[in-house]
Chains A and B, each alone.
Chain A
Amino acid sequence: MAETHSLQDMRQQAAVAAKVFIQRDYTNGTVCQFQTKFPSDLETRIDKQQFEETVRTLNNLYAEAEKLGSQSYIEGCLACLTAYTVFLCMETHYEKVLKKIAKFVQEQNDKIYAPRGLLLTDPIERGLRVIEVTIFEDRSLTR
């Protein structure tokens, strides 16, 4: 390939060793929850407690987004009365929580995962199917 974009250069420096996918946990129905089981590939890289804490917080945030509470009912009824045109102007509760989640993931990456050569991908970028954890090779850490 003739041209290499600068971002690709960066990625080539830290070669991807593996990717781990945390799948969804459907035991409570179709609400968005992820499995808290600690994947074996991450054993050498990160503390089990730490990781489970991250996943559990994510699960709580998603549960908050999908919560069927009085606020969501009021929002829903109001939307129905206006033929759902409010969705075009207002930001829904879910979207607000998604922004919170994005910030949380960013924060976790900066503080905990990047120093260990890992990268968490926000699940929304994978269609809320998986949490993708990219494991970079140790080589990049010793530079």
Chain B
Amino acid sequence: MKNCEYQQIDPQALPTPTPTPPPPHHHHHHHHHHGHDGDKREEPNRLRRKWEVFPGKNRFFCGGRIIVARQSGVLPLTLGLILVTSVLFFIFDCPFLVKHLTSCIPVIGGVLFIFVVITLLQTSFTDPGILPRATPDEAADIEKQIENTGSTSYRPPPRTKEVLINQQVVKLKYCFTCKMFRPPRTSHCSLCDNCVERFDHHCPWVGNCVGKRNYRFFYTFIVSLSFLTAFIFGCVTTHLALRAQGGKGLVFALQESPGRYPSLSNLVICFFSVWSILGLSGFHTYLVASNLTTNEDIKGSWSGKSGAECATNPYSHRNIFINCCSVLCGPMPPSLIDRRGFLPVDEYAQTSGTDIELPTLAAKSEINVCTQGTKGLLESATRSPLLSTPCPQGKPQSAHTCPDNSPTVNSDPSPELSTSCGARHTARSLSDTSPPRHTKTRSKKSKRAALHIPNPAFDDPASPTSPDAGPSTKGSGQKGATSASMH
């Protein structure tokens, strides 16, 4: 353990120059010396927060209070679409409707709109239930236990553990990245490189995983969004119908209305999104009522599809009402990753030589190494050549972690992770099935490309990220699933 610490701070700036620094580090070293003497006095007072050294692929804002996945996906698009549709509605349809119907309409619309935006932002910015990675001691302890129960044959022992939950046998898998046995219902999202509790799916529209902590936000978001789109759709239709009544038919009404193009486009967008979002809401209502996750539903863990004889969901309370209450109104679990906590002082003391002016890339990966495990010696050896490229931002401890951090650090398959990474990569390339992903189709184009491909072969609901690679709409597929499973 001590050795690990020593090795880990070796390439970094120490008050005294290292005896034989490897060549790639030379220019780092020079870089330190300038600002170093001045900062040396300030260093002991500069404590670092845990979010700055977080090993997953996440980005943090506002000093760690806001967390998003590194690939924010199409969150700006989602927000933009909602904003544009609502604003068009308020500008072009509301005045007419207020005059001819009632003035409640903009009020209701406004309330729904605010609800939708708030829940969307909460879904995107909340920690979905990320499990922190195992500390080196824990990982070593688990390894020891595995070796004890393992065989002496050539094959490595299978890293699964079986537990009995409510008289149902559940297999717990070992996560090679987080170095622990995953609790039940936990899954590792490879897009975010984190194990997430009660993992539902990774939603690109929201730009975050949906898990235990933000599922209720997500559900409220899609339900209120379906209300909002249905409301706007209804209002625009009423608007056009009223105009058509007064005039000489629909075409004339369209010609004379000031906002004919916005209203029409609103109508079209809403028409297509209403069906897909209603379908999605219906699907998730079914999931909530039976206390399932999208992940489990797709893999068929409890319906007997994947070969289990008589598997029933051991987490369900057998009562729809109680299931709904426990999922949506249950106590809010705390965030386990403690983003704003300070790094413990002894860890800090190891890295006390770290120059704050160092690019965050180097600092982050070094501390990564320490927390990755006692086998981090190997990792540090393989990773140090990568540290030669400084982060282009080069800003010290800015609120935004360098987005280029993660690819160089996390995609480096260290020797012991290579098997799992390799397995994951080959699995990915073999089956181009898409993960239990979400699409809220708000455009005609993607609605036409409706595919619903289940992926029972997958351990982690991962997939290469390409939002425009024919996203599989769940609209039709979900409705199929819903109708099939709701007898």
Contact = CB atoms under 8 A, between A and B. Distances in A.
A127 interface: yes
A84 B217 contact: yes
Nearest to B167: A27
A12 B197 CA distance: 36
Nearest to B327: A76
A92 B334 CA distance: 9
Interface string A94-136: 1100100000000000000000000000001111111010000
A96 to B, nearest CB: 10
11 contacts: A1-B5, A1-B6, A3-B15, A8-B346, A21-B138, A27-B163, A65-B331, A66-B330, A72-B330, A76-B325, A77-B329
Interface in B182-206: 183-185, 197-198
A85 B121 CA distance: 11
A21 B197 CA distance: 21
B345 A94 contact: no
Given A124-B336, A132-B138, 12 more contacts: A1-B6, A7-B349, A21-B138, A26-B170, A68-B325, A72-B331, A76-B332, A80-B216, A84-B119, A84-B216, A85-B118, A127-B132
B326 interface: yes
A127 B165 CA distance: 21
Nearest to A73: B329
Given A29-B184, A84-B122, A76 B346 contact: no
B416 interface: no
A4 to B, nearest CB: 7
Nearest to B111: A83
B180 to A, nearest CB: 6
A18 to B, nearest CB: 9
Contacts of B5: 1
Nearest to B131: A127
Contact of A76 (B131, B329, B336): B329
Interface residues of A, number: 44
A48 interface: no
Interface of A: 1-5, 7-8, 11, 19, 21, 24, 26-30, 65-68, 72-73, 75-77, 79-80, 83-85, 87, 92-95, 98, 124-130, 132
Contacts of B132: 126-127
Contacts of A26: 163, 165, 170, 172, 183-184
Contacts of A5: 345-346, 348-349, 352
Contacts of A93: 331
Nearest to B186: A30
B426 interface: no
Top 9 A-B residue pairs of the complex, sorted by shortest distance between their CB atoms: A76-B329, A5-B349, A127-B132, A127-B336, A83-B118, A26-B163, A72-B331, A92-B332, A94-B331
